[in-house]
Each structure stands twice: as C-alpha cells, then as structure tokens.
Amino acid sequence: MQPPATVVPLVDSHCHLDQDAFDGDRDAVIARARAAGVERMITIGAGGPLASNHAAVALAARDRGIFAAVAVHPHDTSEITGETYPELRRLWAHPKVVAVGETGLDYYYRHSTPETQREHLRRFVREAGRAGLPLVIHCRDAYDDLLTILREEDAAAIGGVMHCFSGSAAEAEACLALGFALSFSGIVTFKNAGALRDVVRTTPADRLLVETDAPFLAPVPHRGKRNEPALVRHVAEEVARVTGRSLEEIAALTTANTERAFRLPST
C-alpha cells in the first residue's frame, strides 16, 4: 500500500487493532496509518468480555497516538460474569481510555439474547455516567429499542458517538437529538449506499466523524479486503465529495469533532 501523494491529517475514530487479523503485521499497519496521515486512532475493545479490552489498553499505553475504548460488544454480553464489571472499572480509570464502548444492541445475529443485550446496555450507560466517559454505540436492526433505552437512561447527559452509522434519516435525526455524533465508515463508499450518503449530506458539520472499523468494512476500492486505519482517507474523501467540501475541510472538522467527542488533546 502506497501512501497518498499529499498527506492530510486524519483521525480514525473507530478501529480494532487488537484483532487477530493484525497479528502478523500490527506495527506495520500502524506505521502505514501514520504514513497516510492518520496520526491518531481509537482502538475499541470488542471481543470477549475482557481479553480484547486488555489488548486495546495495552496498545494505547505504548503509543501516544492510540487511545482505547473499553466495554463489551452486544454480541458477547452473554459471556459477562461477576468479574467483568469490576475489571472494566479498573480499565476505565486508565488515562488512555477515552470512552465506554462499544456497547449497544445487535438484533441481526443475536449471539446474545435481546434481553441480555438490553440489560447490559442500560448498565453500560450508567457506568459511563459514573466514569465520566462518553459512549461508543453499536446498533444493528435495533434502533427502536436502542433509542428508548438511551432516552430512559438520560444518555444525552453523557453523549458519545454512534459508530459505523448506517441507519435511516429519521434514526440519524433521533440520535442527533440526543446529542450524539455520527461516525461514518467505508459503507458510505459502497455503490448501494445512496440513502446513507443522503444522511451524510444532512448531518451537521460539527457532528461528523470518520472511521474504518478495521479490519472490517474496507472502503471502495479495497472492498472485500482486510481494512486498516490508513484507508480512512477513502471515507473522508467520499464525505468530502458528498458534502461539497474539500478533503482538507473534512479532515479538519472531523479531527476537531473527534477531539471534542472523546476529549482528546489537540495536536
């Protein structure tokens, strides 16, 4: 992968650097991101209840440009034990942990029951409030229940990011009304994502973030291959095209928005 001819500073607001897909070349992946202008990355604990979170924090601790979010993915909430939350609280206190996430609801695969997912989403919202950290929310085929819980738990007072947003215009409006930012992934580059591009077009400029969700959802022209943070530029380029802004403008505003959403230090 060749770095772009002109480097524009970007932040990948959501990736999974601990994933097995990167075990053979993790340091090279991070180096390629930097060469492509991706100066900072937020790596998300999302595997089993604790192993992925420990790995995410370890990566963040060793690299000044990497930060971590810590929680349990809705798929894995059935694996939560009595030891999980005490250990997560310890990790949330780490200075490089900037969010509680990813948490949320996923009714597509239902690896954990909807009831279990809803129970732990409520708990994670409350834990985020106690920890003083924003939320990173995952949602698939569950927006009605998600929005109900976020409203009932006063998540608007906590704030955060709707990661890999791919919902409808009405769902976007509801998330924005709760004060959440919308983070867009490589999905916006897909041929059949016209409705999502319309959402990008109408999202307030101060609520736009970009992400890779690497190693998943590689953007066009790399669709179907392993994704990595260096490719977030393709997402930013598509957001720029859709919104009629320059890449430099999108890079600057999404960087500022990510800094604000996660309270990152400015570079």
- Average pLDDT of the segment spanning 162-169: 98
DSSP the chain: -PPPSS---EEEEEE-TTSGGGTTTHHHHHHHHHHTTEEEEEEE--SSSSHHHHHHHHHHHH-TTEEEEE---GGGGGG--TTHHHHHHHHHTSTTEEEEEEEEEETTT-SS-HHHHHHHHHHHHHHHHHHT--EEEEEES-HHHHHHHHHHTTGGGT-EEETT----HHHHHHHHHTT-EEEE-GGGGSTT-HHHHHHHHHS-GGGEEE---TTS-PPTTSTTSPP-GGGHHHHHHHHHHHHT--HHHHHHHHHHHHHHHHTPPP-
Q: How far apart are CA 14 and CA 67, in angstroms?
A: 10
Please give the pLDDT value at position 49. Answer: 77
pLDDT digit string, tens, across residues 58-81 = 999 999 999 999 999 999 999 999
Please give the pLDDT value at position 261. Answer: 98
pLDDT digit string, tens, across residues 110-135 = 899 999 999 999 999 999 999 999 99
Q: Are 44 and 19 in contact (CB under 8 A)?
A: no
* Residue/partner pairs of 110-117 with CB below 8 Å, 24 or more apart: 111/75, 111/76, 111/78, 112/74, 112/75, 112/76, 112/77, 112/78, 112/79, 113/78, 114/142, 114/145, 116/77, 116/78, 117/74, 117/77, 117/142
| Domains of the chain: residue spans and CATH | 10-262 (3.20.20.140)
Band (267; pLDDT cuts 50, 70, 90): confident
Q: Work out the percent of the chain whose per-residue pLDDT is above 70.
A: 100
Place of tokens 């998300």: 44
Closest CA to 123 of 149, 92, 160, 156: 149
pLDDT digit string, tens, across residues 200-259 = 999 999 999 999 999 999 999 999 999 999 999 999 999 999 999 999 999 999 999 999
